[in-house]
Amino acid sequence: MTALITPRHLLEAGLIAADQLDGTEAVAARFAVSVTEAVARLIDPADSADPIARQYIPDTAELVLLPQESADPIGDHAHSPVEGIVHRYPDRVLLKAVHVCPVYCRFCFRREMVGPQGDGTLSGAALAAAIAYIAEHKEIWEVILTGGDPLVLSPRRLKEIMERLAPIDHVKVVRLHSRVPVTDPARVGSELIDALKSSGKTVYVALHANHPRELTDEARAASAALIDGGIMMVSQSVLLRGVNDDPAVLASLMRLFVENRIKPYYLHHPDLAPGTSHFRMSIEEGRAIVAGLRARISGLAMPSYILDIPGGHGKVQLPESPVREVGEGCYTIEDRLGDVHSYADRN
Ligand SMILES: *Cc1c(COP(=O)(O)O)cnc(C)c1O
Ligand code: SF4
């Protein structure tokens, strides 16, 4: 089976019901659809609230577009000096070499840029210009391949990009953000791993997964192969209503990452992407969930809870903030059980 990319494919695979076909067609006319075999196997069609289906199967709620939502919620375009590069922080750039993904996540913050109608995959000339930009800017310490999902590139194409980065001395780290170990684990073979290593730089893969069920045996084996191959891994998740808006679910997810040698890195507050309001919660609600997570898990398993400020102003942490100043130098601090203690740092 290849990927399911039309509503009719989803119907034939039993992932939507006949009476959902029209609604699904309407969503598919607006946003890209794709579900891989690995993901389809994970979905329980009998469960109308299945947290895997919710991430990948179109929902008519996506047709609700709100004025505060934006096609470019985190301001990529405002910080793009040349095609394929986003340079928002001095020491690191995004390199968006490809605009397609094996799956299309219904909450994606780049949903207007990825997919067959998206920004386009870089031509040879555009890639050369992007690499030249990186070579000219000596402050760039890290290159972050994102997209699209960079691990959909063939090992040959990946190797070509890595070999072009290799001679740029000021670039020390290459990071790839990917969902492939979960969505298409068969792609992670020795050829792909060798390609990633051909830059000679320190390579990190940031694995995007949002629910513990996504870390299947195959996904874990793909991650283990990357790590055994000398690649470091961190995690990235999005806090999503109806998927993981529960401290217990997040705790199992974060523990699974750590057990599989993947350091929890970011938990993103959902971005204001078009047609995604059914996934969002308030920052207050998000903070309460993250405080519940912190109360349960090892510090090693704790990600940073992050908001990307709309408009391209960058990421900030949304701390749980258990500390309240109640007087000059006097604070109250709430512990993980909800008990309040006082703390004074002067007499
Ligand atoms: C998120 C992002 C990065 C990476 O940020 P980190 O905090 O280093 O993970 C870099 N550039 C852009 C434009 C980004 O949106
Ligand atoms: S894999 Fe990443 S870039 Fe692709 S649709 Fe999902 S969230 Fe968006």
- Reported as a single tens digit per residue, the pLDDT across 33-42 is 999 999 999 9
Ligand nearest to the CA of residue 81, numbered in listed order: 1
- Is residue 30 in some structural domain? no
Q: Is 268 in the pocket of ligand 2 (CB under 6 A)?
A: no
- Is residue 329 in some structural domain? no
- Is residue 240 in some structural domain? yes
Cα–Cα dist 280/307, whole Å: 12
Q: What is the pLDDT of residues 19-59, one digit of tens each?
A: 999 999 999 999 999 999 999 999 999 999 999 999 999 99
**89 C-alpha to center of ligand 1: Å?**
7
Domain residues for 147? 72-320
Grade residue 165 by pLDDT with cuts at 50, 70 and 90.
Answer: very high
- Is residue 233 in some structural domain? yes
- Is residue 256 in some structural domain? yes
Q: What is the CATH number of the domain that holds 160?
A: 3.20.20.70
Total domain count, the chain: 1
- Is residue 20 in some structural domain? no
Q: What is the pLDDT of residues 236-274, one digit of tens each?
A: 999 999 999 999 999 999 999 999 999 999 999 999 999
For ligand 1, atom 13, the nearest C-alpha belongs to 88
**305 C-alpha to center of ligand 1: Å?**
14
As a whole-number percent, the residues of the chain with pLDDT over 70 amount to 98
Sign of CA dihedral 202, 98, 186, 24: positive
Cα–Cα dist 224/209, whole Å: 15
Q: Report which ligand 1 atom has the smallest distance to the Cα of 79.
A: 13
Q: Which long-range contacts (CB under 8 A, 24 or more apart) does 158-164 make?
A: 158/192, 158/195, 158/196, 159/194, 159/195, 159/198, 161/95, 161/97, 161/127, 161/131, 162/195, 162/196, 162/197, 162/198, 162/199, 162/201, 163/198, 163/199, 164/127, 164/131
- Is residue 257 in some structural domain? yes
**208 C-alpha to center of ligand 2: Å?**
9
Within 10 Å of residue 244's Cβ, how many Cβ atoms? 25
